[in-house]
A and B are shown apart, each in its own frame.
Chain A
Amino acid sequence: MKILVCLKQVPDPEANIEIDSTRGWICESDGIAYRMNLYDEYALEEAVLIRESLGDASVDVISVGSERAAAVLKKGIEKGATNGIHIILDRDRYRSPGLIARLIADYARDRGYDLILAGVMAEDDMQCQVGPLIASYLGLPCAVSVVREKIGDNRSEIDVDCELEGGVNETLILPLPCLLTIQSGINRPRYPSLSNVLRAKEQALTMLSAGTVLSGQVETVVSICYPESAVKGTIIKGTPEQKAEKLLDILHEKSLL
């Protein structure tokens, strides 16, 4: 079984992120830690778990991004991926999910992947599109927000639970090959093993140039700003003790306590 996992490098959302209005994206600075998109970590772990249970599977990881993105592919190998494929783009800026998906779909086409996994969304642009778009371009069935999967004994179908809203899950059966987007919490991503860390150091990535992609009409960023930070509420000030007392007074006044 051949599995492909899509990885994206994202700025740590907890970092102090600044806006670059001329480029319509965020500033690249040394102060920002870049790391693997959280949801992709779960997708990779799920692929590695499948390989461990089947015994005869390979797990390729692919990323479309600037040279810096090679780090997430190395991390992917450290966490157990077989091979890393890097489709290189120039500097980071807003990229239409359609463009990224087309590049990955073009790579994956005719390479015989039985299963393609992606994170349910990227933490930076939060578009939730690349997975389903790849499936559309390749004509594959797709299920999103997967919180459990089990490959059938004859390996011709996969049984999945997808998270809907309000604490409800839906069970679906999809034929293989197919694409799943993985929701966080499906597993517990592992730490790299020493042997895989050493292998990642030695092993070269497959590097491909993005070339020119005709992706049709796209959306463009025309403004970027911090959300209205106008705090409308009351800031409770004082020592921690005073704040606690003030809050209790407010809750009493409102008959909440």
Chain B
Amino acid sequence: MLILIDTINNTTADSIFELISFAEMLAGTEQSRIRVIIAGENVADISRKAARFGHDVIALEHPDLRFPNPDFFADEAIRLVDEIKPRYVIIQHTMRGCQIASRISAAGGFPCITGVESFIHDGDSVVFCKSIINGKITVGLVPGGERAAFTVLPGAFRVPDITAGHRVPGQVLHRTPAGGPSHCRPLGIRESAGGEVRLEESDVIIAAGRGIGTKENLDLIRAVARLFPNAAVGASRTVVDQKWLPYAHQIGVTGRTVAPKLYMACGISGAQQHIAGMKGSQTVVAVNKDPHAAIFSIADYIIVEDLTVFLPLLIEKHAKKR
């Protein structure tokens, strides 16, 4: 198996090593060699870190890989697939992860499944499960043929615990992409506007979803946040797309990943993309008028109520108690 990891400025979050658990569990008892490919400009440090998990690492280094360059990375990965002939190619589920996985699968003529959350062995085949239709439905897919590429949803697996059991560190090999110059020129990265919001440092996050209905109802969310000593306002994709809040407030696969003491989801339906960004929260309270909202499946406390009715009552009752 091949695990592909890209970096930004030669670093990546440690949660990327969840992919190693996925690969090890997929291998099961079968003897299967796992190799980790890390792309960047100079990725010696992160490669050594990755090797501690006990698998060999190929540090793929080129100046054009300092910032994500999915086509360029994929083209070298295609050469690696040809050389190593892996059964599976595993990538983290991000939009560029899907781009890399698609490009490799197109070149090799094998299937690609994105946003994988779990898998089950079913006789000789493995069924890969993913959400469709905003998390309302789960499908099991079996890839045909000898090879397949996946993107794995962040948070679906845990980083292996290297303190448990003996892992002999793998070797780190350095490699330079063989291809010509990159077609795309990555110029750099920057924080999107509103980057001053410190969601990660807040004990409490009050998050607003599509169910808030109007921008004005954000005042209710803010008022609830003010009840707590260290609270911030979060949002689902829909809310930031409406420009009701800056993108820095967004929680989910394409936004922030948070793990506060309390996460209160108000009018959030609970698409997997959102849940992946907040499932580590200690206590989750969900308020939604739809009794079938997917968010309820991960909530500790469930309130089926219209938030425009419920939140004002919550604020009022709190004022009386003080």
Contact = CB atoms under 8 A, between A and B. Distances in A.
B138 A171 contact: no
B190 A132 contact: no
Contacts of B130: 126
B96 interface: yes
B229 to A, nearest CB: 9
A231 B136 contact: no
Given A19-B137, A222-B140, A128 B95 contact: yes
A91 interface: no
Interface string B300-315: 1111110001100110
Contacts of A174: 183-185
A217 B183 contact: no
A256 B262 CA distance: 7
A257 B109 CA distance: 56
Contacts of A127: 98, 112-115
Nearest to A188: B243
B188 interface: yes
Interface in B281-298: 283-286, 292, 294, 296-298
Contact of A141 (B71, B140, B299, B314): B71
A74 to B, nearest CB: 24
B47 interface: no
A183 B240 CA distance: 12
Contacts of B310: 240, 243-244
Given A137-B106, A222-B127, A247-B303, A128 B190 contact: no
B318 to A, nearest CB: 6
A24 B137 CA distance: 11
A164 B6 CA distance: 12
B140 A98 contact: no
B240 to A, nearest CB: 7
A17 B136 contact: yes
Question: How many interface residues does chain A have, given as a range?
Answer: 35 or more
Nearest to B204: A256
A111 interface: no
Interface residues of B, number: 100
A184 B237 contact: yes
B178 interface: no
A251 interface: yes
Contacts, number: 269
A248 B317 contact: yes
B133 A123 contact: yes
A67 to B, nearest CB: 22
A7 interface: no
B140 A221 contact: yes
B191 interface: yes
Contact of B255 (A167, A225, A228): A167
A248 B285 CA distance: 11
Contacts of A101: 106
B294 A223 contact: no
Given A132-B99, A144-B96, 15 more contacts: A19-B137, A97-B112, A127-B114, A132-B102, A132-B103, A144-B70, A144-B98, A145-B96, A220-B142, A224-B139, A226-B138, A234-B301, A244-B314, A256-B283, A257-B227
Interface of A: 11, 13, 17, 19, 24, 26, 94, 96-98, 101, 120-121, 123-129, 132-133, 135-137, 141-145, 147, 162-175, 181, 183-185, 216-236, 240-241, 243-245, 247-248, 250-251, 254, 256-257
Interface of B: 8, 67-71, 94-96, 98-99, 101-103, 105-107, 109-115, 122, 127-145, 148, 151, 183-192, 194-195, 203-204, 227-228, 237, 240-241, 243, 247-248, 250, 253-257, 261-262, 283-286, 292, 294, 296-305, 309-310, 313-314, 316-318, 321
4 tightest A-B contacts by CB? Answer: A217-B145, A223-B140, A136-B106, A216-B109
